[in-house]
Amino acid sequence: MKPMHASLALAVALALAACSSSKAPQTSAQAPAKAAPTAAEAHAFVAQMNKDYKAQSLEPAAAEWVAETYITGDTQMLTAKAQERYLKWLSDEIGRARAYENAAGIEAADKRALQLLKLQTAIPAPRNPEHLAELTTLASRLTAAYGAGKYCDDPKDPKSCKNLDDASKILAEDRDWNDDLAAWRGWHGVGRGMRSDYVRFVELLNEGAKDLGYDNVGTMWRAGYDMSPADFNAETDRLWGQVKPLYAQLQCYVRRKLKDKYGDKMPNDGTIPAHITGNMWAQDWANIYGLVEPYPGVGGLDVDARLKAERDAAYRKLLAGFKGKPTADDLAALDRHADAEQALAMVRRAEDFYTSIGFPALPASFFEKSMFLRPRDRDALCHASAWPMDFGTDVRFKMCIHPTAEDQYTIYHEMGHIYYFLAYKDQPPIFQGGANDGFHEAIGDTIRLNLTPAYLHRIGLSGAAGEDPKAVINAQMKLALEKVAFLPFGLLIDKWRWGVFDGSIKPEQYNTAWWELRRKYQGVSAPVPRDDAADFDPGAKNHVPTNVPYMRYFLADILQFQFQRALCKDAGFDGPLYQCSVYGNKEAGAKFWQMLGAGASRPWQQTLKTLTGQDDMDASAILDYFQPLHAWLEEQNKGVDCGWSGEG
């Protein structure tokens, strides 16, 4: 999956309030005009702002961490109150900052810092104090509703209730049409309870955006990319145009294989029902690799089996060392202990890759404070995410780790966020962020591209790695089901929200518009009819109720291949891009670390150029990487109508 990861803790939880004054400004007749601030005064303001920004951010970050790892009504309330206090300070700070934006001779870094102050969050809050309190309460409630979400097969039997982990496991492992449908329908029902809150949430967000001078939240989000919102919209369309031919071939092939499996249950309109893709949101199709594997058994890429074998071996070792006859409680404790050992081993495996290219070892506090398993005694939001807690070395992530390939790869991804936090920790707090939010998501995903069959074999997670052309196609297919399948999903979520925010998608159209976009970009359809008056299927995806912008993940899917091509060049690799792994190459790692260290201190185009030599995003690297698979898919799909109804 694409974790969020990316989300930085504060960007998820905190809002931005516009400054207002209860007093009318004095006219020139009332008081002499104040002299414009000097560049030195602007510099002094920015320096103090950075100190205060750090100090004021610590409490809401800690409150949100507790609220997501210990979901109760109390923690929701405490988080909302911490946010309100932070917002009061931030509102005043933004008001003060406006006086310095046009100071004569202001340094470029100071001007950028003042601009970033307004764009640190995805959640602009209204200046009305009552509306501000309402917004923070809604934000906390929507996050908690998702994190504590459950559905019950039998409403009268609590033991039949399932959370997202349970439902996702069914979709990942069970290939029965009806079982998958029940799990998909059950979890998507969780969104229904969010619908009315979300409608009001959008109204308040737009009120806050307008107070800041933006016409709606979508425009504000797009303003954070060092280009105009209109140019950014065009840029995402351009990048999608580059990669769509590859995606269309993959969708066509997968659909035919699913038709072989499910026969007449498949629709005749060229779409794939969302529930049979092996993933709750049909964003990642890797779990159905066994159904679509080009050359069955070639290449030994069953990472799932090897991870589960590791975990089982850990349990057997613990059981063998137990003295006496274990009780049921003892066995449960041993089981939990084995889970913890396996989770730690998976985290250490990812850390090893980063340290092999010269990155520092993780601080001890990371292992002491992170959440690696779902708590047994409370609700927690298990969605994987990385957290910078103090603008320094207190970095952590939360995740409910299982011994699966998907979770192992997610850990590599989240570790990318963690190391980005550490790389730019010496920047001023306002510059402690990604060059753009796509960069933050791309770091760990770039490392994911280095987990080649040869690397996996080296660390014991795959069979022998050879140059068999069939094994190459298998490996590329497995990765494409994760990376290429994700591309349109990464694009459409914010396409939907931009429409919601600008009013072109009305509340009564939320669900219909959602599925129109799913069909248009993905060729994916709802498996059962949806009720626009009741269903709120977007709410079944974490990033919607938590209001985390999603275009970052689409950009990351492009950037990671661009980064990888540059790193392999720095490493002196001279071969097909898909064969390259920079594991152990400190020269490539040093170049990567240098780029990460710049944080958000300059426009992303400049930062991109330091690593890649290009100052624009370019999807040609993803086409280079998957060239063997693309050619193979075109051959397999010859004579087949590869379009779908509603395609755009």
Catalytic residue list contains 414: yes
Q: Residue 263: what pLDDT?
A: 97
| pLDDT band (50, 70, 90) for residue 24 | very low
Amino acid symbol at 7: S
| pLDDT band (50, 70, 90) for residue 29 | very low
Q: Residue 32: what pLDDT?
A: 54
Please give the average per-residue pLDDT across 316-344, as a whole number.
Answer: 92
Dig out the tokens for 504 from the structure. 């072109």
Amino acid symbol at 323: K
Query: How far apart, in Å, do the first and last CA atoms of the chain sit?
Result: 25
Please give the average per-residue pLDDT across 552-573, as a whole number.
Answer: 97
- pLDDT(63) > 70: yes
- SS in 3 state form for 87-116? HHHHHHHHHHHHHHCCCECCCHHHHHHHHH
- pLDDT(384) > 70: yes
- pLDDT(482) > 50: yes
Spatial contact of 19 and 98, defined as CB atoms under 8 Å apart: yes
Catalytic residue list contains 84: no
* Rounded CA separation 149/152 (Å): 11
- SS in 3 state form for 563-622? HHHHHHHHCCCCCCHHHCCCCCCHHHHHHHHHHHHCCCCCCHHHHHHHHHCCCCCCCHHH
* Distance set, CA 391 to CA 8, 211, 487 (Å): 11, 29, 32
Dig out the tokens for 34 from the structure. 């104040």
5 is in an annotated binding site: no
441 is in an annotated binding site: yes
More confident residue, 5 or 111: 111
Q: Residue 464: what pLDDT?
A: 66
Spatial contact of 529 and 504, defined as CB atoms under 8 Å apart: no
* Rounded CA separation 271/437 (Å): 31
* Rounded CA separation 413/568 (Å): 19
552 is in an annotated binding site: yes
Q: Which of the 8 DSSP states describes residue 273?
A: E
| pLDDT band (50, 70, 90) for residue 95 | confident
Q: What does the buried/exposed string (b/e) look like for 393-406 if buried means 16 or more CB atoms within 10 Å of the residue's CB?
A: bbbbbbbbbbbbbb
DSSP letters, 499-548, are: HHHHTSS-GGGHHHHHHHHIIIII-EE-SS---TTT--GGGGSTTTTTT-
Q: Residue 468: what pLDDT?
A: 86
Task: Provide CB contacts within 8 A for 155, sequence distance 6+.
Answer: none
User: What is the SS3 assignment for 321?
Assistant: coil
The pLDDT tens digits for 133-150 are: 999 899 989 999 998 999
396 is in an annotated binding site: no
Q: If we measure between CA atoms, which residue out of 176, 175, 403 comes closest to residue 291?
A: 175
Mean pLDDT score of the chain = 91
Alpha helix ranges (H) inside 362-468: 364-369, 405-423, 437-449, 453-458
Q: Which residue has the tokens 């599925």?
A: 515
Active-site residue, from 414, 440, 482, 630: 414
In sequence order, the β-bridge partners of residue 386 are 397
* Rounded CA separation 556/618 (Å): 11
146 is in an annotated binding site: no
Active-site residue, from 43, 402, 543, 630: 543
- pLDDT(23) > 60: no
Q: Residue 22: what pLDDT?
A: 32
The pLDDT tens digits for 249-299 are: 999 999 999 999 999 999 999 999 999 999 999 999 999 999 999 999 887
Q: Residue 26: what pLDDT?
A: 41
Q: Residue 126: what pLDDT?
A: 87
The domain covering 137-298+472-554+620-637 belongs, at the CATH homologous superfamily level, to Neurolysin, domain 3 (1.10.1370.10)
Cα 366 to its chain centre, rounded Å, is 20
* Rounded CA separation 431/323 (Å): 55
pTM of structure: 0.86
Q: Residue 302: what pLDDT?
A: 80
